A and B are shown apart, each in its own frame.
Chain A
Amino acid sequence: MLKNILFTICFSLFSNLLFAAETQSPEMANTLRSDGKIYVVVLVLATIFAGIIAFLIRLERKISKLEKNK
């Protein structure tokens, strides 16, 4: 009984490895995302976005001021 269970576990582990080696998935930046500095890109984009939003808000304030003065 125990032998059977052990065999099953071993076989399933082995077949997993076998399948992992066989199926070659398309190349994605999986490692890049974990430690390849993708967060730097996120930061840069977020900075540009924040800059544009700040610009829009300032522009909106200026227009509001003009609207009050008319």
Chain B
Amino acid sequence: MRRSWWKVLCVLFLGYSIVAGLLSPVPALNIVNETIRNLYFHVPMWFTMILLFFVSFIYALKYLRTGRIEDDIFSSELTKVGILFSILGMITGMEWANFTWGEPWSNDPKQLGTAISMLIYFAYLVLRGGMKDEEKRARISAVYNVFAFALMIPLIWVLPRMVDSLHPGSGGNPGFNTYDLDSNMRLVFYPAVLGWMLMGVWITSLRIRLSLLVNHHENKMVTS
């Protein structure tokens, strides 16, 4: 276990968020009732995804500057784990919406923007899968990654806020606005976000190390 203090932190934060997330007091609101606790688990999925996609974007730029294959490995593994978190966020959101908004999919602007963004990132995987040549794959997917990240910003941050949305923080849904100010929930929410982000980085680091090993092994096979 190399440099593992932050992994301990991750376990502590997430363990705390599971126990306190179910037992701590929350504001009593109509319609959402106890499902307000989903905030501790559904929202961190998206925050983690954004973090991973952002770091992936940085490594894509770095690859374009340096041309080191390691940067491509970092960038692609970060994107893959980011996609995993986006799928988890989407499924948990639809489950939550089914019991509060009445249906899993209500064409909410944030749902639509996120879905388009996810499709763009799925295409990244297809693009990478379709190319054999290592250098070409790395270069084209780095350029595509920059494009995908640049599109994600208006799709999930700007456009949903310009129109009415069922999500809190924009337009309608007044039944949910008081959680913004609830300090009891912040005490659980922030550690949960940090914990899930560390978990995302942890999983990614394992994938990157495995991928570097495979890369090293393949290079050895070629030279020997």
State the A residues within 8 Å of B (CB): 25-29, 33, 38, 41-42, 45-46, 49, 53, 56-57, 59-61, 63-64, 66-67, 70
Contacts and interface: CB of A to CB of B under 8 A. Distances in A.
Given A28-B28, A64-B2, A59 B19 contact: no
B1 to A, nearest CB: 7
A53 B11 contact: yes
B29 A49 contact: no
Given A26-B28, A70-B216, A38 B209 contact: no
Given A56-B206, A63-B210, A45 B18 contact: yes
B202 interface: yes
Interface of B: 1-2, 11, 14-15, 18-19, 22-23, 26, 28-30, 33-34, 202-203, 206, 209-210, 213, 216-217
A28 B33 contact: yes
Contact of B19 (A26, A42, A53): A42
A66 B33 CA distance: 49
Nearest to B29: A26
B28 A46 contact: no
Given A49-B15, A63-B206, A64-B2, A26 B213 contact: no
Contacts of A25: 28
A53 B28 CA distance: 33
Given A26-B33, A60-B206, A38 B213 contact: no
A28 B35 CA distance: 10
Nearest to A38: B22
B213 A63 contact: yes
Interface centre among B2, B18, B203 (most CB of A within 10 A): B18
Given A66-B213, A67-B209, A38 B23 contact: yes
A53 B34 CA distance: 27
Nearest to A57: B1
A46 B206 contact: no
A42 B22 contact: yes
A60 B34 CA distance: 37
B30 A60 contact: no
Given A63-B213, A64-B2, 5 more contacts: A28-B33, A28-B34, A45-B22, A46-B19, A70-B217
B214 to A, nearest CB: 10
The 8 A-B residue pairs whose C-beta atoms are closest, nearest first, are A26-B30, A26-B28, A28-B28, A45-B18, A63-B209, A25-B28, A42-B22, A29-B34
A5 B105 CA distance: 60
A70 B213 contact: yes
30 contacts: A26-B28, A26-B29, A26-B33, A28-B28, A28-B33, A28-B34, A29-B34, A33-B23, A38-B23, A41-B22, A42-B18, A42-B19, A42-B23, A45-B18, A45-B22, A46-B18, A46-B19, A49-B15, A53-B11, A56-B202, A56-B203, A59-B206, A61-B1, A63-B206, A63-B209, A63-B213, A64-B1, A67-B213, A70-B216, A70-B217
